[in-house]
Structure 1
Amino acid sequence: MTPETYLALLVRAGKLKTAVRHCWLAPERQESVADHSWRMALMALLLEHEPEFAQVDLDRVIRLCLIHDLGEAFTGDIPTFQKDETDRQTEDQVYQKWLATFPEADRKDWQALLAEWDAQNTVEAKVAKALDKLEAVISHNESDITTWLPLEHDLQYTYPEKAVAFSPWLQALKNLVDKWTSKKESRVAGHESRACYCKVKG
């Protein structure tokens, strides 16, 4: 790969830093797709010494985490509850068109990774998919609950459920996140109850 091609690919991939996701990290800061992909990769790295994942190629999982959403450098992010098959096809088409500009060896490597992600027939792809969904609910728990849409209160519990079913360790992580979600919702409910009591009493 020439330096010119290398730089051009990095510049396009850098668009993920400004491709915003639905989640708000702070009052003036929406999460970017790059934020999401980076933490997925970190989540994979941190599994290195967990016995359950000893036979998993975590380097490959990290690769899957880093490239799975790069089509959104062209299309932007569409929340999962709004994304339809046409959106997925459009994203795949522009991604494949971009890959056609890669040197052959790199193109084949990335195409193989994307095919593996789509097929979900390896443990590496399953781990990456589970981390994808878990990272999303963790980010939502970090955000102000007033930014959640009504449907997201249920999605917090159901969104990762099928993806983690194959892994006891990831199920345990989901259960921990679920407890965090419940606590977050309980605090808000308690605050609203106190506010109503004070209003009536006053």
Structure 2
Amino acid sequence: MSPKEYLAIMHCIAGLKERTRHAWMKSGRQESVAEHSWRMALMAYFLRDAFPNADLTRVLLMALLHDMGEVFTGDIPTFEKTDADRAREHALRDTWIESLPPPYAAEVRDLFAEMDACETEEARLAKALDRMEAVITHNEGDPATWLPLEYDLQRTYGIEEAAFSPVLRALRTEVNHEVDAVIASLTKEEKI
């Protein structure tokens, strides 16, 4: 790979730092897609002992790259994203993947095919952590930024994805305790 090709990839990936998500940080600013991916990777790292058969390097790459399509489309909240939005995001992501030099194009294509199929332990773990990280970030932010539908969504988002693992189920239960604590701390007027 030439230095020019390398820098083109880095400049494109930098878009993840520029794209904001539908999540607000404790500080009052919106979270970037890169920050979400970064913490998701760290979540995977600190769960490595619970998944000794998983290829941690693969999970880390999934965490870091899973939202790459959002460089081109921006973040669309899960409760607003349509099948057409997903198809567009995947098409733009796939076009970017095909522009990568060998062997990266094939490796990244395979990685996304694995994530899209969501059949391996690595892909299932990445999907569960993707959902859980979003809920944790919402818990940490100001609940005044939550939409009314998010009170229920905070309790249910990612439950199904975490169900395959006792460790993830226990972690998701603890995350729900935090959800309940955040909601309980609100006055009646704030909940409306």
TM-score calculated relative to the size of structure 2: 0.95
Task: State the structure with more CA Rg.
Answer: 1
For structure 1, list consecutive stretches of 5 or more residues without a partner in the other structure: 194-202
When the two structures are aligned, how many residues end up with a matched partner? 191
- Going from structure 1 to structure 2, the CA distance change for 1:95 and 1:56 (only over 3 Å counts) comes to same
Match of 1:147 in 2: 145
Match of 2:78 in 1: 80
- Going from structure 1 to structure 2, the CA distance change for 1:192 and 1:109 (only over 3 Å counts) comes to closer
Match of 1:198 in 2: none
TM-score calculated relative to the size of structure 1: 0.91
Distance 2:116 2:9 in 1: 22
CA contact (8 A) 2:132 2:172 kept: yes
Range moving further from structure 2, 19-28 or 175-184? 19-28
Structure 2 counterpart of 1:163, from 146, 149, 161: 161
Work out whether 1:3 is the aligned partner of 2:13. no
**What is the one-letter code of the residue matched to 2:5?**
T
Q: What SS does structure 2 have at the residue aligned with 1:188?
A: coil
Q: Following superposition of structure 1 onto structure 2, how do residues 102-113 of structure 1 map, counting pairs within 5 Å?
A: 102-113=100-111
Structure 2 counterpart of 1:66, from 64, 67, 83: 64
Match of 1:196 in 2: none
Q: Following superposition of structure 1 onto structure 2, how do residues 1-202 of structure 1 map, counting pairs within 5 Å?
A: 1-26=1-26, 28-50=28-50, 53-189=51-187
4+ residue runs over 2 A deviation: 189-193
For structure 2, list consecutive stretches of 5 or more residues without a partner in the other structure: none
Distance 1:83 1:191 in 2: 29
Q: CA deviation at 1:104?
A: 2.4
Q: CA deviation at 1:100?
A: 1.8
Distance 1:20 1:192 in 2: 25
CA contact (8 A) 2:20 2:32 kept: yes
Q: Deviations over 1:116-141 (max 9, x none)?
A: 01101101000000000000000000
Distance 1:26 1:184 in 2: 13
Range moving further from structure 2, 19-28 or 133-142? 19-28
- Going from structure 1 to structure 2, the CA distance change for 1:184 and 1:90 (only over 3 Å counts) comes to same
Q: Deviations over 1:5-25 (max 9, x none)?
A: 111101011011110101111
